[in-house]
Homo-oligomer: A and B are copies of this chain.
Amino acid sequence: MTYQFYYWPTIQGRGEFVRLALEGAGAVYEDVGRGPDGPDFAAVSGILWGEDQGPPAFAPPVLDVGGRLIAQTANILLYLGDHLCLAPAGELGRLWVHQLQLTLADFVAEIHDTHHPIGVTLYYEDQKAEAARRAAVFREHRLPKYLGYLERVLADNPDSVWLAGDDWTYADLSVFQVVEGLRYAYPEAMARAEYDTPRVTLVHEWVRELPNIAAYLASERRIPFSQDGIFRHYPELDG
C-alpha cells in the first residue's frame, strides 16, 4: 500500500517523526504537501476540513491508510509500528515503546514551548522575555531530566544499544530526531547535557548509520532545520 502522508511541506516539525519511520522501514509513501509543483499547503490544510474522509483531525501530521485517516504523531507511529514491524509485536512490548514515544512527545512539546511560552498565535519576537526565562528552566532542569531518563532506559536494556529489546523501533528513530534537533537549537546546552548521557548519543549515531535513514538524510526529501519548526536556534536562549 502507498501511504499518503500530510504535513506542512517546508518544515520538519512533528511530521518528521513519521517521515523517519516511513523512511526507516523503506515504505512507499507520498508526501502530499511536497507536490511536484512545489509546496502545497492547501492539500495539507484541506485534509483537516475535508468531507467524506472519516473523522476529522485536530492538526497534521495525518496519514491516509487506504482512505482512512490517522492523526496524532504517536498514534500514527503506533499504527506504523504494527504494520511496518517498527515495534515489538507483543502487547506489553508495543505499549512500552508507545510509552517511550509519548514521553518523547512531552519532551518535544516542552522544547517547542521554550520559544513559544505564551502561545502559538504570537511570534517569538512578541514573547522573547518569557522565552528567555522558560529556556533557562529548560536548560537547567528539563533537558537533563529527559535525557537522563532516556539514558536510564537504555542502561536498563544492557544487551542492546536500543531502547527496547534487540532491534531498533520507531522510538529510537525519534530519539535520533530529538538529539539532532537539540544540537541544532541548543548547541551549548546540549553539548553539556550529552556528556552525561553517552548511551543517548550512541542511539543517535546508530540510527544515523541505518542504511535507509542514511539515504534519507542525504536526500532532498530531508528538509533542513530552520527558524520555523520545533527546533529553532536562537543564540540568546542557549548558553
Residues of A participating in the B interface, judged by any CB pair closer than 8 Å: 55-58, 68, 70-72, 74-75, 78-79, 91-92, 95-96, 98-99, 102-103, 106, 109, 113, 117-119, 121-122, 127, 130, 133-134, 137-138, 141-142, 146, 149, 152-153, 156-157, 164
Contacts and interface: CB of A to CB of B under 8 A. Distances in A.
B153 A134 contact: no
Nearest to A117: B117
Given A119-B133, A119-B141, A130-B130, 16 more contacts: A55-B153, A55-B157, A55-B164, A56-B149, A57-B99, A58-B106, A70-B95, A70-B99, A72-B99, A75-B102, A78-B95, A79-B91, A106-B109, A113-B117, A118-B133, A119-B134
Contact of A98 (B68, B75, B130, B133): B75
A136 to B, nearest CB: 8
Contacts of A127: 133
A138 B153 contact: no
Contacts of A121: 137, 141
Contact of A117 (B55, B92, B98, B134): B134
A79 B92 CA distance: 9
Given A92-B68, A117-B118, A121-B141, A103 B133 contact: no
A156 to B, nearest CB: 6
Nearest to A73: B102
Contact of A118 (B68, B74, B102, B130): B130
Given A72-B102, A102-B72, A117 B130 contact: yes
Q: Max chain B CB contacts within 10 Å: which of A91, A102, A121, A164?
A: A102
Contacts of A152: 56
B75 A99 contact: yes
A23 B239 CA distance: 48
B57 A79 contact: no
Given A92-B68, A118-B133, A130-B118, A58 B149 contact: yes
Nearest to A132: B118
21 contacts: A55-B153, A55-B156, A55-B157, A56-B156, A58-B106, A58-B149, A70-B92, A70-B95, A72-B98, A72-B99, A72-B103, A75-B95, A78-B95, A79-B95, A117-B118, A117-B134, A118-B130, A118-B134, A119-B138, A119-B141, A122-B137
